[in-house]
C-alpha cells in the first residue's frame, strides 16, 4: 500500500557511492528491485555511514519480502547512524505490522509522529495507527479460522456453501461472507452465480479486496483477455492487514504467480497452524524454493497427526526437487 508511493519520494543524494545509489534508484523505479538492491548495496559498501543509502536499501529489501534484513538496516540507522532520521521509524513500523508485531509497530508510528508531526508520512502514519488498533480489536474473531474458510481449505466446497448460507441467513449484512459464498459456488462450477455475487460486491465497494481478487482469478481461470492485466494489477497492491495480504497471496497462487504469492503468504499466514503452513509450503514448492518448502512441510508434519503422512511425502518430494504440476489440487489440505 505504502511502498508503491515511495518510488516518487526518493531523495537525490550526491556523495561517494552516489553513482550506484542513483543507478539503484533508476532500477527500483523501473520495477527491477533485484538489480536495485544490488546497486544500492554497492553504494552502502562505499559509504557505510550514509543513512539515506541504508534507508533506501531497507525500502527495496522490504519490497522483495526480505523484512528481517530490512529491519536490521533500519535499526542500525536508529542506533548508530542517525537516531533523528524520522523516516526510519515509519518504515520500520510498516514492516513490523506486516510481520504481525502490531504493538511494536504502534510504538514506532507514535515515535515518527512525535518527531515529525507534519512529515511526509504523517497522514499515512495516523491511518496505520487506526488500522493497527482495529486489527488488534478483531483478532479474536479472525476470518482465518472461520468454519466456512476451513472447509474451503479441505476442498469441501458444498459444505462451505451450506455453512455460509446458514450464517448469511442469520447475519445478511456480513458482506465478507458473500465473497466466500461466491468462491464456494465457483469451485462447484456455478460460475454465473459466483460472478453475479462478485459483481454486486464490487458495485457496493470497488476496493473490496476479496471481491477484487476473486474477479481477477475468475478472469484468469476463464482465459479472458483481461485476466492477465487484472493479475498484474493485483501484484502492485501492498495491503496492510494480514488477512488482506493472505487473500492477495492466495489469489496470486491460483493465478500461478507463485513467486509473488509466496511473498505475500509468508508475511500473513498463521505459522502455528498446519493448514496454512501447508499452503505456504505449496507456494514455495511451485516457486521452486525447495529448501523453504521442505522446511515448512516438516514443521507442519510435526503439528499434524491425521495428515502427517501426506505432509511428510510432500516434504520428501520437495527435498528431491520433485515436480509439482496441479497447483489447485496441491493447495487442498
66 touches 98 (CB < 8 A)? no
Q: Provide mean pLDDT across the span 234-259.
A: 90
Residue 132: predicted pLDDT: 67
| More confident site: 9 or 249 | 249
Mean pLDDT of 8-29: 75
What pLDDT digit, counting tens, does each position of 45-77 carry? 999 999 999 999 999 998 777 888 999 999 999
pLDDT in tens, 270-283: 877 899 999 999 99
What's the mean pLDDT in 31-46?
A: 90
Q: What is the pLDDT of residue 137?
A: 46
Tell me how far apart the alpha carbons of residues 218 and 157 are, in angstroms, rounded to a whole number.
Answer: 16
The CATH number of 3-140 is which of 3.40.50.300, 3.40.630.30, 1.20.1250.20, 1.25.40.10?
Answer: 1.25.40.10
pLDDT tens, position by position, 73-113: 999 999 999 999 999 999 999 888 877 677 888 889 999 99
pLDDT per position as a tens digit, 294-317:
989 988 888 877 888 888 888 888
Position 144 pLDDT exceeds 80: yes
pLDDT at 9: 53
Where in the chain are all domains bearing CATH 1.25.40.10? 3-140
Give the separation between CA 333 and CA 318, rounded to whole angstroms.
Answer: 16
* Predicted confidence (pLDDT) at residue 138 exceeds the cutoff of 50: no
Count how many Cα atoms sit within 13 Å of the Cα of residue 239 in the half-sphere of its side chain.
25
pTM: 0.66
The answer to whether the CB of 289 falls within 8 A of the CB of 262 is yes
Mean of the per-residue pLDDT values of the chain: 87
pLDDT above 90 coverage of the chain, percent: 50
Amino acid at each position: 500500500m505504502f511502498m508503491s508511493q515511495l518510488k516518487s519520494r526518493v531523495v537525490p543524494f550526491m556523495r561517494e557511492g552516489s553513482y550506484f545509489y542513483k543507478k539503484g534508484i533508476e532500477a527500483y523505479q523501473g520495477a527491477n528491485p533485484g538489480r536495485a538492491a544490488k546497486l544500492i548495496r554497492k553504494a552502502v559498501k562505499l559509504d557505510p555511514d550514509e543513512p539515506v543509502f541504508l534507508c533506501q536499501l531497507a525500502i527495496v529489501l522490504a519490497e522483495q519480502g526480505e523484512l528481517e534484513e530490512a529491519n536490521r538496516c533500519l535499526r542500525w540507522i536508529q542506533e548508530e547512524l542517525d537516531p533523528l532520521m524520522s523516516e526510519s521509524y515509519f518504515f520500520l513500523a510498516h514492516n513490523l505490522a506486516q510481520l504481525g508485531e502490531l504493538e511494536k509497530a504502534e510504538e514506532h508510528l507514535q515515535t515518527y509522529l512525535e518527531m515529525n508531526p507534519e512529515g511526509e508520512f504523517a497522514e499515512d502514519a495516523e491511518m496505520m495507527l487506526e488500522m493497527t488498533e482495529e486489527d488488534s480489536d478483531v483478532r479474536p474473531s479472525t476470518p482465518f479460522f472461520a468454519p466456512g474458510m476451513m472447509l474451503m481449505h479441505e476442498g469441501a466446497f458444498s459444505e462451505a456453501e451450506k455453512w455460509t448460507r446458514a450464517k448469511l441467513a442469520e447475519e445478511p449484512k456480513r458482506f465478507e461472507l458473500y465473497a466466500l459464498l461466491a468462491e464456494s459456488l465457483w469451485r462447484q462450477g456455478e460460475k454465473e452465480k459466483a460472478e453475479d455475487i462478485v459483481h454486486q460486491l464490487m458495485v457496493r465497494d470497488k476496493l473490496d479486496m476479496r471481491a477484487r481478487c476473486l474477479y481477477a482469478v475468475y478472469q484468469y481461470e476463464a482465459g479472458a483477455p483481461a485476466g492477465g492485466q487484472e493479475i498484474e494489477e493485483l501484484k502492485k497492491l501492498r495491503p496492510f492487514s494480514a488477512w488482506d495480504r493472505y487473500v492477495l497471496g492466495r489469489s496470486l497462487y491460483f493465478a500461478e504467480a507463485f513467486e509473488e504469492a509466496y511473498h505475500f503468504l509468508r508475511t500473513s499466514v498463521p505459522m502455528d497452524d498446519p493448514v496454512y503452513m501447508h499452503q505456504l509450503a505449496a507456494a514455495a514448492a511451485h516457486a521452486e524454493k525447495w529448501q523453504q518448502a521442505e522446511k515448512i512441510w516438516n514443521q507442519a508434519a510435526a503439528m499434524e497427526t491425521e495428515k502427517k503422512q501426506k505432509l511428510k511425502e510432500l516434504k520428501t518430494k520437495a527435498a528431491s526437487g520433485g515436480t509439482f504440476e496441479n497447483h489447485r489440487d496441491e493447495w487442498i489440505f
